[in-house]
């Protein structure tokens, strides 16, 4: 892929404090049927189930459920969209949300450990394969000695990105590196690749400044990239631990609304929707 023009995504660190505060608050505004403040989170189980999600693909999958399946199933569903990976979990923990969909279990486990939250997975829904993208080269083998590769800067996704590079033989990780590997765990680096750690949402924007970037699926799709067509290296689906899960605060697993949503998200209808809409860029899971 060469010379693709991507939409600019403003870095929050570059904005005035008041604007940042407003932007973060906006993440909690409603994007569902009920409007702002009309739904209920985990504390009130008599109202709509409020589910947090990143816009793509989680928000699109949930919108399909909301518009096509929820009413018939007797589920009142409200969707709130977020553009980062932290707020959907803090909102879930404090009861603003009743569930969320956007993360894989390794990230969820790391978040619980680092933030002291008590969140748990209910069901696996889909795999958004992580990919390596470039505006400079057409294949991983074309990366020159000393090339700069951008990585997501959160712990589990950075380890996942390094595993992807290792799967192609671009680097070799220490045997005990584990899922939370960092550049310090690179044992062999035959191309002397330089690694640049970047906020995940900013990775598509970084493509003009680096030789390649490992980008999370949802941010790639948001930027108009097709993982299946544009990635020069894409994760394999075999034995992949990074399926995205429907998550709740521990203790809410038996909420009838959550159980109903889990059933709908793993239904044949949603499986077909994911297959038809994403054409291999997002892959449905059978609901393990």
Where are the domains positioned within the chain?
Answer: 14-129+241-284, 131-234
pLDDT digits (tens, 9 = 90+) for 39-51: 456 566 779 999 9
In sequence order, the 6+-apart residues with CB closer than 8 A to the CB of 80 are: 27, 28, 29, 30, 31, 32, 39, 50, 51, 52, 53, 91, 97
pLDDT mean over 216-232:
94
Question: Is residue 107 a contact partner of residue 157, using CB atoms and an 8 Å limit?
Answer: yes
DSSP, collapsed to helix, strand or coil, labels residue 94 as: coil
Least trusted range by pLDDT, from 65-74, 203-212, 267-276, 278-287 = 278-287
Q: What's residue 236's pLDDT? A: 81
DSSP, collapsed to helix, strand or coil, labels residue 55 as: helix
DSSP, collapsed to helix, strand or coil, labels residue 57 as: helix
pLDDT band of residue 288 (cuts 50, 70, 90) is low
CA pair distance 89, 97, nearest whole angstrom: 9
CA pair distance 2, 99, nearest whole angstrom: 39
Asked whether this chain's domains 14-129+241-284 and 131-234 adopt the same fold, the reply is yes
Is the pLDDT reported for residue 32 higher than 90? no
Out of 3.40.309.10, 3.40.50.620, 3.50.50.60, 3.40.190.10, the CATH code matching 14-129+241-284 is 3.40.190.10
pLDDT digits (tens, 9 = 90+) for 133-154: 999 999 999 999 999 999 999 8
Least trusted range by pLDDT, from 60-69, 229-238, 265-274 = 229-238
Least trusted range by pLDDT, from 19-23, 133-137, 216-220, 252-256 = 19-23
Out of 3.20.20.70, 3.30.360.10, 3.40.630.30, 3.40.190.10, the CATH code matching 131-234 is 3.40.190.10
Spell out the SS3 assignment of 189-253: CCCCCEEEEECHHHHHHHCCCCCEEEECHHHHHHCCCCHHHHCCEECCCCCCCCCEEEEEECCCC
pLDDT digits (tens, 9 = 90+) for 232-270: 999 987 778 899 999 999 999 999 999 999 999 999 999
Against a cut of 0.75, is the pTM above it?
no
Q: What's residue 285's pLDDT? A: 86
């Amino acid at each position: 892929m060469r010379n693709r023009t991507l939409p600019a995504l403003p870095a929050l660190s570059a904005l005035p404090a008041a604007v940042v505060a407003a932007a973060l608050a906006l993440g909690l505004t409603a994007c569902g049927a009920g409007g702002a403040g009309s739904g209920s989170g985990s504390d009130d189980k008599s109202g709509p189930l409020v589910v947090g999600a990143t816009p793509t693909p989680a928000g699109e999958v949930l919108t399909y459920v909301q518009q096509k399946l929820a009413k018939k199933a007797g589920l009142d569903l409200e969707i709130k969209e977020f553009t980062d990976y932290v707020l959907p979990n803090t909102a879930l923990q404090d009861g603003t949300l009743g569930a969320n969909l956007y993360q894989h279990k390794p990230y969820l486990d790391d978040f619980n450990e680092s933030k002291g939250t008590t969140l748990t997975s209910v069901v696996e829904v889909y795999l958004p394969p992580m990919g390596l993208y470039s505006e400079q080269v057409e294949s991983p083998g074309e990366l020159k000695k000393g090339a700069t590769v951008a990585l997501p800067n959160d712990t589990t996704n950075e380890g996942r990105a390094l595993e992807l590079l290792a799967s192609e033989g671009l680097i070799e990780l220490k045997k005990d590196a584990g899922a939370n590997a960092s550049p310090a765990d690179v044992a062999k680096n035959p191309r002397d690749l330089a690694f640049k750690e970047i906020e995940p949402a900013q990775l598509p924007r970084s493509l003009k400044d680096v030789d390649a970037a490992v980008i999370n699926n949802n941010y790639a799709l948001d930027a108009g990239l097709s993982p299946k067509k544009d990635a020069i290296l894409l994760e394999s689906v075999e034995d992949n631990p990074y399926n995205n899960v429907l998550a709740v605060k521990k203790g809410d697993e038996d909420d009838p609304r959550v159980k109903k949503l889990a059933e709908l998200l793993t239904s044949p209808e949603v499986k077909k929707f994911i297959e038809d809409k994403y054409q291999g860029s997002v892959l449905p899971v059978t609901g393990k």
